[in-house]
Amino acid sequence: MNDTPGWTSPGSAPSDDQNGSGIPRPTAPSDANGSAPQWSKDQPPAGQWSPPSGQNPPPAPDQGQGRGWGAPPPNPQWGRPPAAKPGVIPLRPLGMGEILDGAVKTLRAYWRTVLAITVTVAVISQIADILAQRYLVPEAPAPSPDATPAEALEQSLEAAQSSLIGLGPALLVTLMASLFSAALLTVVISRAVLGRPVSLGSAWQEARPRLLQLVGLTLLLAALSAGVVLVGLLPGLLIGGSAGVALTLLGGLGSLVAAVWLMIRFSLASPALMLERRGVIQSLKRSAKLVQGAWWRIFGITLLTQLLIFVFAMIIAIPFTILGIAVDGDGFSGLLEGSSTTFGWSFLIITGIGGVITSAITYPISAGVTVLLYVDQRIRREALDLELARAAGLPGYGPAPGDQTVGG
């Protein structure tokens, strides 16, 4: 929409019979003989005027800093009105700090609903993780001090295999917990953008029909990443020898880069599935379209968010881990002796409490950044801010539709 009057649209210039202000140049009046008298020499300087008291004049056209003719100046008294903000973010393209701030504001403003979701999910996931570590994880074989180098290498491989098997249940539980909380938090954050409250029951009712599709989307992305990594590692593993090791390292690095590229490209598929009610494949295509041209920006914001979450998790986890080791006498003594250690219930419970605290804070931040990135990309590409303003019932944007989320 052109918000500038007359010819002063962006990119245009004044005509030859104008003096740069949009006003025709004055012509000298004729006398009775038809000759044009000379203007007085005591004329005020051209183009100068006095602004209203207490205000600053708009910049001259040649001082518009690349805006073009008729573009609004930076002074808020002369420029466009500030963006509407019915909820946790202003309805305009967002910066990285505003996205992170919006996620934190959602946690603060809707803490009852958010913590009810995250604490419940975190407690269930931590209980399942503790039981898996206690009863499903195989005990790592104790290293033999008299082992030959070949036997020591074999023992190290067996210990690594045991650790990977132990990580399997924990990763599966974490994946399901993240998926479940992300589904509910997506609904909460979409309402927070509009400044509307949402209860745990209404969030569950909104998210429940999409859970199976969200599970399918998550498993498909995990299988896609694993397939890409396997394709990169397989040639080197088949060749073997020193050449195979070099090819495995090179293929692993390339496959990791490809997997990261795919994950960022499809990072907005989850909110598209939840809020636009699309299918799995349609959500992947939708995410690829929204991310196109903004991959590096989304990658940077996502990477920074994950680094902040990791630092926060370490700050919480380290004290609880030290406390758990100190309380668990057998584990602490075994750790000092340098032998294989199996921690008891006290260690698992104490570290589980730290995990609940960490998850209760990090789940909404991670989900909030993802959803707000989706909203930001739609504002930049599709003018979603106008639809959100109408949905929030703001004056001047037309009649507000019924109660709806961002994707409605």
Q: Does 403 have pLDDT greater than 50?
A: no
Q: Does 164 have pLDDT greater than 80?
A: no
The C-alpha atoms of residue 148 and residue 145 are separated, in whole angstroms, by 9
- Closest to 328 measured CA to CA, from 305, 350, 311: 350
Q: What is the pLDDT of residues 356-388, one digit of tens each?
A: 999 899 999 999 999 999 999 999 999 999 999
- Which helix H or strand E contains 193, and what residues bound it? helix 149-194
Mean pLDDT of 173-199: 88
Q: Which DSSP letter does residue 34 get?
A: S
Q: Does 157 have pLDDT greater than 60?
A: yes
- Predicted pLDDT at 148: 65
Mean pLDDT of 269-284: 94
Match 């082992």 to its residue by tokens: 147
Of 18-22, 244-248, 292-296, give the range with the top mean pLDDT: 292-296
Radius of gyration of the chain, Cα coordinates, nearest whole angstrom: 31
Q: How far is CA 158 from CA 36, 137, 150, in A?
A: 105, 13, 12
Q: Does 63 have pLDDT greater than 70?
A: no
SS (H, E, C) 341-366: CCCCHHHHHHHHHHHHHHHHHHHHHH
Query: pTM of the full predicted structure?
Result: 0.71
Q: Does 141 have pLDDT greater than 90?
A: no
**pLDDT class of 95 with cuts at 50, 70, 90:** very high
Residue 111 corresponds to which tokens in the numbers above? 């803490």
Q: Does 264 have pLDDT greater than 90?
A: yes
Q: At what angle do helices 295-327 and 241-265 cross, to 10 degrees?
A: 110
The C-alpha atoms of residue 118 and residue 357 are separated, in whole angstroms, by 9
Q: Which DSSP letter does residue 38 get?
A: P
Average pLDDT value for the chain: 76
Mean pLDDT of 9-26: 37
- Predicted pLDDT at 139: 62
- Predicted pLDDT at 24: 41
